[in-house]
Structure formats: structure tokens, C-alpha cells
Chain A
Amino acid sequence: MTETNKRVVVAMSGGVDSSVAAALMVEQGYDVVGMMMRLWSEPTSEGGAHNRCCTPEQLSDARRIADKLKIPFYVLDTQDVFRGKIVQYFIDTHTDGFTPNPCIECNRHIRFDWLLNNALALEADYLATGHYARVEHTTDGRFLLKKGLDDAKDQSYVLSVLNPSTIDKVLFPVGEYEKPVVRQLAAKFGLPTASKKDSQDLCFLGDGDYRRFLRDHAPQLMAAGPIVRKNGDVIGQHEGLANYTIGQRKGLGVFAAEPLYVLAVNPAVNALVVGTADELGSTSLTASRVNWVAGSPPAASFKAEVKIRYKSRPVPATITVLDGGRFSAAFSQPMRDITPGQGAVIYDGDICLGSGIIERRPA
């Protein structure tokens, strides 16, 4: 069976990247099926919907593109599984004082699990998405997850949950291109999304305002409480833990001899812990819920680079594999933005090796 006999389901959002991904798959001769997930809809008091993903406009855009490409197109009701696995996780982890990255979890539980399995059930050989990343099939039969060609758009951070049982079934057609070229391709294919703006993270938040969302869904995170130093001295009052992020300096409303930063949140006593720049930095982190793209780590301890946030630069670190699906990363310089709940994603140059979720620092 040649590649051109193979069926690929393209996850379409109505946006430029997934539309071009679908068009490239058609051009390459695959048997293409478009699918869109209806993930979440949050009613407003006006009876409209808050969320920015899967709006009626995006749905009709995706349907129109599928018609233009002459491919079947289906919308899947994903609301139950998304509510349970992603929205509840977002609320629960925030409640526990973490700052989660729901896109990582969505890729782990929804896109490359639920959707992939629905695609395979439809006798598809592959699931393609509009992500900027690349999958390389090595001559010795392994699959590598690599950064997208366009470093500025690279999305391998949120794809670091791929593993040997999924990576051989995913395709990232636009990962081979730079974003401006993708826009040109959209124009070349005559896709009506050629000038649409990029989609955004936290797709399920209608207004992009996660504080408003948490106020609605976890009101205790908006309750005022003490601002404390590490030694327990109360130096002020905060306006609800969800309003602050690790490393934040502005807007604390406390006065001290030195600038103070958010060090941690302690939801058990609704306290915001602040301290100096020296106290903020740390030369190490630990991460759990670890995934290795290759199925196992390259060594028990090895040198690599780590990204501690989606948009941060990779930093050299020594990775040590720990028991219980964990690892530690040791940096040569103190890192100020280590945020429990975010992904720590490990790279060897362009190759994404895997990731874990940053744990809370022991007190």
C-alpha cells in the first residue's frame, strides 16, 4: 500500500494552519477526512457562548474549506470528555496552587488519544494537525519529534506528550514551513482563511480572561488573604490567589526595602508567599507525570536543554531520571520563573525528548 492510498483525518479548526494542513494532505494524494471537535461551550448570561474555539463562524469556515477541498467533514461532540479531562483539570490544579498548561493536557488526553482513536476507528492511518512541529522517521525505525522549521512558531512544547504508540500515527504538514509561507500556501490553495489571525491558547476561555473564568468556576481562588514572607510574617493582603503568577513583581501592593516577587501560593491557608529576587530563583526543579517521546530516557542522567514555559528559551540543564515517573533538572544559573504546573520540556537541539509537569518546591 503506498502512502497515497492511506487515509488521514485532519483536525480542522477553521484557522489557517489546519486548513493548509488539510490542503497539503489532499495535494499529497492522501484520502483526507476533515474533523472538528466541539470541545466546550460556556453559556453567558446573555445566552451566547463565551468560548473562542469552535464558534459557529469557525465551524462554518472549516466546513467551507472542506467543501472547497472536496473532503468529507464531520464535527464531533467532545464536550463531555473535554469538560472532564481539561476544564476540570484546569480548575482543580489552580485550586491546588498550580498554574497548569491545558494545551499539554488537551494533546495528551484529547487530541492524541480521544480524537486519534476516533480517527483510527474511521479506518484512518494517520491524524494530521496544523501544529508547527516535525516528525522524523529515522533509518533505524525510530520516530523523532522535532521543533517546527519556524522557530518562532514552534509548538513541540505542547506536543511533548507524544510517545511511541502515538507518534507513528501523527502528521504535522505545516511544521515543514515558516508561517509566512503557510499564509502564502493558503492563498495559493485559495483558502478563505489566508488573512485570518492566529488562534490562541486557552481556547475554552471566551474572553481569554482566565481570572474571570476562575472567578466563575473556583470562586475561592478570588478570596482575599494574607501576603506573607517565607518566615511567615504577614506584610499585606492579596486579592485572591488566581490573580498572581510566580515571579510577578508588579501589582502586589506591598512595600519593602527591596523589590518583592511572588515566590509561591499556598492554597491551604490562602496565602501568597513573596520574597526577594534571591529567594525567587532556583537552580533546580523536579517534574512528575513524565513522558518520553522515545518511550524511555536516553540515559539515567544526561545533559540537555529545558523549556520551563511555552514561550521561554531552552536553557542548558542536567537531567536526572528519578523513581516514580519523575525527573530533576539542574541548571547552572538560578531560574526565576519555575512555575509548578507548567511543563518542563526537554530538548536535544531540535529534538524534543519528552516532558514532565513541574512539581511544587518542597517548603
Chain B
Amino acid sequence: MSPAPARHVYLDYSATTPVDPRVVEAMRPFQSETFGNSHSAHIDGRRAETAVEEARERVAQVLGCKHGEIVFTSGGTESDNLAIRGTALAGLKAGKNHLVTTPVEHSAVGKTMAQLSEYMPFETTLLPVDQSGLVDAEDLADAVRPTTGLVSIIYANNEIGTVQPLARLAQAAHERGALFHTDAVQAPGQLSLDVKALDVDLMSISAHKFYGPKGVGALYVREGISLVPAMTGGSHEEGRRGGTLNTAGIVGMAHALALAAEEMPWRVAHYTALRDRLTQGILQAVPDAIPTGHPTERLASHASFIFDGLDGSILLMHLDMKGVSASSASACKTGNPEPSGVLLALGYPHDTAMGSIRLTVGKDTSVEDVDYAIQQIGETVAKLRRLRQQYA
């Protein structure tokens, strides 16, 4: 066998993160020892319930809300589904049949809205975005009608890293009587999650994006908002979400979220330094690389580019062989790539959008990792462009 790549550099922390060893420790007792169903009346159930409620308290603390305003879910996708379907259906009787969102949402929001518009009596308005992906509060104000039930806008975009002026947008929605939800899945550890300051009514998070376990998330639901459960079943979570609670996962998420809040200044500084080095290095190695998203209003960990004329999937294959794990919005494992809807919404042409790449740094990323990735990306892009010449 030929030698393994010189390094293995994981630069896909926006896709998922490893579970922090401290989080693993916090979860350990809740696998085999404290295994009860938190809804059972006996001692085993009560122990689990205590752990779940303590976790709820910790999550509420980070979000600056009451513990009763936190609903535990299976992750970001379910939180988004519950927020949108739950408020949309609850508002229908009051004549609220209009939804507002953006073309740069995660598909958990986008497809849920699309389904409601296709199968239920809802109409969805997509707000315009500028080429960096930002939404204008005035456009939002113009779009909201008396019948608008919910506005949902992503906090920090997963593909292009752009961070929305959430408080301004939420205010515009509230002034016209609409609820405001945000998918904040990319935010923990990097952006404020203070729901009061952000003035949001609903907010989705997912543990595996901030060094917690997969399969667990939470939805903040402002007190007094009625929510039809998207997952019907038992009376768990105050009737807002049926299903036995994932005790270990919930404990892990709460611990990971507390760490993310506590370490946020250090993480943001660490990420920003690496991200800036990465961005500058790539622009030096590939001078015509097109940075995507907003240059300053963006996630500290997030760098994204388009290499015009390249196929993102093939670029990722070459980087994988060199030990660099990255992602591309157009890449798929089936060889049938489609350009990212987000990049098309930003105005990039179809073929240009195929050459996207996303590099996201994490707690464990080093300067050496970043330098290695820059070198490999520079060499690979040059090589693929030479190859492409042959078939132009």
C-alpha cells in the first residue's frame, strides 16, 4: 500500500463535531446506571426525570429563558419541523395561512414550508437576499401581512456562513403581528443565543453541532405560544412532543451547550484566527477563488468559496485522498450533483455554483492543519483545471 496521506485534517465542523470527552463523561451514567424512563413514577424514572429537568434548566440558562420554554427533540431538523408545522397549524384557525421565509434556509425549514404550501392551505413568501445572503428588514416588513403566522429566517447560514441581523428582522415581524423562528443550528459557541436580546419566539439548536451527541436537539418556544405537536404521542414535553426522552443525549447536550457558552470567547478568537489564515491562504493559492457569503457578518469558523469551472465532488475526492475532509454544497455521494439552491439564490450561475467548497474549523484545528489544507487545495485546484482543459 502506498503511504497514507501526510496528515488527516478535518475541516467539516459545520457538518458535525466530535463529542467533547467532558460531554462523554457527563453522559456516561445515563446509559446503563440511570436508565429509567423519565415519565415513570418509580425511583428509576424519577432519577432520569431529575437529570432531564436539570439539563432543561442548564439549556434555559444559556438561552436566557424559562425552563418550561425548552422542548427537547431529536435534533435540528425536528426542531425546525416542530416550530414551523406546530405554529402554522395552531394559527390556521385564527386565519393565519401565510408563511414567510428565505431562499437560503436549511432544507429542514425550506422543505417543511414547501410541504405546507403544497398539501395544506398555506402560502409561502420567499424574501429576497443580496449576494452575500443577507435579508433586508424592510423587505421583511413589506412581506408580512395580517394573515402571516410565522416568519422563519436562518441565524447563521450553514453553506455560506452569513449571519443575519436577527433582532432587527424579528422586530419587523413582531411589529406586524407575526411570530419569528430562527434555525440557530450553526450558532452555539460562536454567537449569542440570548432569546430575549434576539427577540425570537422560537429557536432551533442541535447538539452534534457543538460537540454534543447526535440525535438530540432543542426548540425554544416562547411562553404562551400554542404549538400543535409535529410528533404526536404521549404527553411528554407538556404535550408538545411525544416520545420517551433521550436522557443521556439531553444531559450531553446541556453539558455541551454550557461549555460552548463558557468557552465562547476563546472559541471565537481561535476560530477567527484560523478562518482568516485559511481564507487568505486560499485566495493567495487560487487568486480567482470567489469567497461566498458575507465578508464580515459571518460565522467565525466558516470559510466558503467557489472555484469557477470545477466540479465540487471531484475536488472533494482529491482532497479526501490527500487527507483533507471538506464539503461542497453541490456534492453528493450518488454522482448526480445539483448546484446548491442557496448559491443559485445568491445569483451565481448554475455551472459556477457547482464548484463550491466549504471549510469549517473547530476547537482542535491547528495552524499546521490549515496550512496543509491550503497547500493541498492550491495544488488540487491547479491540477483539476489542467485536466478540465482537455475536455473543454
User: Which residue numbers of A lie inside 8 Å of B, CB to CB?
Assistant: 4-7, 29-31, 33, 36-38, 41, 54, 56, 59, 63, 72, 74-79, 81, 114, 117-118, 121-123
A72 vs B333: C-alpha distance when bound (angstroms)? 12
Name the residue in A38, A54, A117 with the highest tally of chain B Cβ atoms < 10 Å from its Cβ: A38
With A38-B334, A41-B336 known as contacts, the answer to whether A5 contacts B317 (CB < 8 A) is no
Which residues of the partner chain B approach A41 to less than 8 Å between Cβ atoms?
Answer: 336
Given contacts A31-B2, A121-B384, 14 further A-B contacts (CB under 8 A): A6-B2, A29-B1, A38-B336, A56-B334, A59-B335, A72-B320, A76-B317, A76-B335, A77-B313, A77-B335, A77-B336, A81-B391, A118-B314, A118-B387
B interface residue count range (under 10 / 10 to 19 / 20 to 34 / 35 or more)? 10 to 19
Which residues of the partner chain A approach B317 to less than 8 Å between Cβ atoms?
Answer: 74, 76, 122
A31 vs B383: C-alpha distance when bound (angstroms)? 21
Closest beta carbon of chain B to A73's beta carbon, Å: 9
Closest beta carbon of chain A to B333's beta carbon, Å: 6
Interface pair B320/A37, CB less than 8 Å apart: no
A54 vs B391: C-alpha distance when bound (angstroms)? 22
A75 vs B336: C-alpha distance when bound (angstroms)? 9
Closest beta carbon of chain B to A33's beta carbon, Å: 7
A117 vs B336: C-alpha distance when bound (angstroms)? 20
The closest CB in chain B to the CB of A39 belongs to B335
A32 vs B390: C-alpha distance when bound (angstroms)? 25
With A76-B313, A118-B314, A121-B383 known as contacts, the answer to whether A4 contacts B337 (CB < 8 A) is no
Interface pair A4/B336, CB less than 8 Å apart: no
Interface pair A75/B333, CB less than 8 Å apart: yes
Among candidates B2, B320, B334, residue contacting A75 with C-beta atoms closer than 8 Å: B334
Name the residue in B2, B313, B317, B335 with the highest tally of chain A Cβ atoms < 10 Å from its Cβ: B335
The closest CB in chain B to the CB of A109 belongs to B391
The closest CB in chain A to the CB of B1 belongs to A31
Which residues of the partner chain A approach B334 to less than 8 Å between Cβ atoms?
Answer: 38, 56, 59, 75
Interface pair B318/A77, CB less than 8 Å apart: no
Which residues of the partner chain B approach A54 to less than 8 Å between Cβ atoms?
Answer: 335
Which residues of the partner chain B approach A56 to less than 8 Å between Cβ atoms?
Answer: 334
Which residues of the partner chain A approach B314 to less than 8 Å between Cβ atoms?
Answer: 76-77, 118
Query: Can you list 12 A-B contacts (CB < 8 A)?
Result: A7-B2, A31-B1, A33-B321, A41-B336, A56-B334, A74-B313, A75-B313, A76-B317, A77-B313, A78-B335, A117-B390, A122-B318
The 3 closest A-B pairs by CB, nearest first: A38-B335, A75-B335, A31-B2
Name the residue in B311, B313, B317, B320 with the highest tally of chain A Cβ atoms < 10 Å from its Cβ: B317
Which residues of the partner chain A approach B318 to less than 8 Å between Cβ atoms?
Answer: 121-122
User: Which residue numbers of B lie inside 8 Å of A, CB to CB?
Assistant: 1-2, 311, 313-314, 317-318, 320-321, 333-337, 383-384, 387, 390-391
The closest CB in chain A to the CB of B4 belongs to A31
Interface pair A77/B2, CB less than 8 Å apart: no
Interface pair A79/B387, CB less than 8 Å apart: no
Which residues of the partner chain A approach B391 to less than 8 Å between Cβ atoms?
Answer: 81, 114
A123 vs B379: C-alpha distance when bound (angstroms)? 12
**Is chain A's interface secondary structure helix, strand, loop, or mixed overall?**
mixed
Which residues of the partner chain B approach A117 to less than 8 Å between Cβ atoms?
Answer: 387, 390
The closest CB in chain A to the CB of B336 belongs to A38
The closest CB in chain B to the CB of A81 belongs to B391
Which residues of the partner chain A approach B1 to less than 8 Å between Cβ atoms?
Answer: 4-5, 29-31
Which residues of the partner chain B approach A114 to less than 8 Å between Cβ atoms?
Answer: 391
A78 vs B334: C-alpha distance when bound (angstroms)? 11
Which residues of the partner chain B approach A76 to less than 8 Å between Cβ atoms?
Answer: 313-314, 317, 335
A118 vs B336: C-alpha distance when bound (angstroms)? 17
Closest beta carbon of chain A to B338's beta carbon, Å: 10
A118 vs B388: C-alpha distance when bound (angstroms)? 10
The closest CB in chain B to the CB of A7 belongs to B2
Among candidates B311, B313, B321, B336, residue contacting A122 with C-beta atoms closer than 8 Å: B321
Which residues of the partner chain A approach B383 to less than 8 Å between Cβ atoms?
Answer: 121
Among candidates A5, A6, A77, A123, residue contacting B311 with C-beta atoms closer than 8 Å: A77
A74 vs B334: C-alpha distance when bound (angstroms)? 9
A63 vs B390: C-alpha distance when bound (angstroms)? 29
Which residues of the partner chain B approach A31 to less than 8 Å between Cβ atoms?
Answer: 1-2
Closest beta carbon of chain B to A320's beta carbon, Å: 34
A5 vs B4: C-alpha distance when bound (angstroms)? 11
Closest beta carbon of chain B to A18's beta carbon, Å: 15
A154 vs B178: C-alpha distance when bound (angstroms)? 70
Closest beta carbon of chain B to A223's beta carbon, Å: 34
Which residues of the partner chain B approach A81 to less than 8 Å between Cβ atoms?
Answer: 391
Among candidates B2, B313, B333, residue contacting A5 with C-beta atoms closer than 8 Å: B2
Closest beta carbon of chain B to A154's beta carbon, Å: 29
